[in-house]
Amino acid sequence: MQITVSHDIFPIAGVFTIARGSRTKARVLTVTLVADGQQGRGECVPYARYGETLDSVAAQIAGLPDEFDGARLQTLLPPGAARNAVDCALWDWQAKLAGKRVWQLAGLPAPRPVVTAYTLSLDSPENMRAAAARHAARPLLKIKLGTPDDMPRLEAVRAGAPGSRIIVDANEGWSADIYADLAPHLVRLGVELVEQPLPAGADDMLGEIARPLPVCADESCHDRASLPALAGKYDMVNIKLDKTGGLTEALALRAAARAAGFGVMVGCMVGSSLAMAPAVLVAQDADITDLDGPLLLAEDRAQPLHYDDAKVYPPDAALWG
């Protein structure tokens, strides 16, 4: 088994800003696995918030033994970006070797197109209203917030897209007091979900204050081991393959979250269609899908995922799976 890792850069269309900062490029690692005359590919986005860098993740992958399978991989690498790229490459390789699609190997029904959120990055109220108006035909908008001065932004987006469903992502940027003040206004403006309002590790107050709309764990939820600590604080979990460490754990987390009574959101880092493709399988019965990474890019992979104004479509075999 030969594994190669390449560092690829995809320019973002404009500037993408969240509460933690801004960027103009998506920097990803692409893993290519070759064995028995077939190759598989996977992509990951190392994330500094979780202590990952391009170099550290590449080093984790370089340290893998020459031979392993999907089950052993779960013990060789921890949840995170490195395992994600290798796990997805393994699934892709196995599908090509078997002459089947990944969902057939996984015992899943054939995937269908799913409605995905479109993200409006953090900006001035005026610019966010203009962005909302440009995308007002989309059924679901996600707003990046997470500052003490978010109320004008909320009002601006609702004014720009009066007919769209709205979800909000604070990226750990609020305090309990700020969230308590904002929550009634979120409800008033028809917001359906708030994602990670408080910092992970400092979110116990969510179990003590009123939750007038569903609260979704993102930074607080990585894999199945995260679930017990979320009970009573969160209503939903955001499953991202770069956090779970690949499709294998993402499917297991989805099942465990449902069994524990959590709603399911399937999200992404800002990456290419290769990163989104396996997540489309996880999103098949999700309550909320947020797989818009390629829509935020100025360039994408060859044979990219197909998107229309509402939905993301399952990948062609030429891309993945």
Q: To 10 degrees, what angle do helices 54-62 and 81-98 make?
A: 50
Q: How far apart are CA 179 and CA 148, in angstroms?
A: 9
Say whether 144 is catalytic.
Answer: yes
Give the pairing of strands 191-195 and 215-217: parallel
Give the pairing of strands 2-18 and 21-35: antiparallel
- Residue of 96, 142, 144, 243 marked catalytic: 144
- Residue listed under structure tokens 């030969």: 2
For residues 131 and 124, the answer to whether their CB atoms sit within 8 Å is no
Helix (H, G, I), strand (E, B) or coil at 164: coil
Q: How far apart are CA 73 and CA 42, in angstroms?
A: 14
- Residue of 96, 142, 233, 240 marked catalytic: 240
For residues 249 and 222, the answer to whether their CB atoms sit within 8 Å is no
Q: How many CB atoms neighbour CB 271 within 10 A?
A: 28
Say whether 243 is catalytic.
Answer: no
Q: How far apart are CA 308 and CA 312, in angstroms?
A: 7
Q: How many CB atoms neighbour CB 261 within 10 A?
A: 8
The residues, ordered by sequence, that sit 6+ positions from 128 with a Cβ below 8 Å of its Cβ are 120, 122, 143, 153, 156, 157, 160
Q: In sequence order, what are the beta bridge partners of 8?
A: 28
- Counting beta carbons within 10 angstroms of the beta carbon of residue 124, is it exposed (0 to 12), middle (13 to 18) or buried (19 or more)? exposed
The residues, ordered by sequence, that sit 6+ positions from 202 with a Cβ below 8 Å of its Cβ are none
Q: Which residues are catalytic?
A: 144, 240
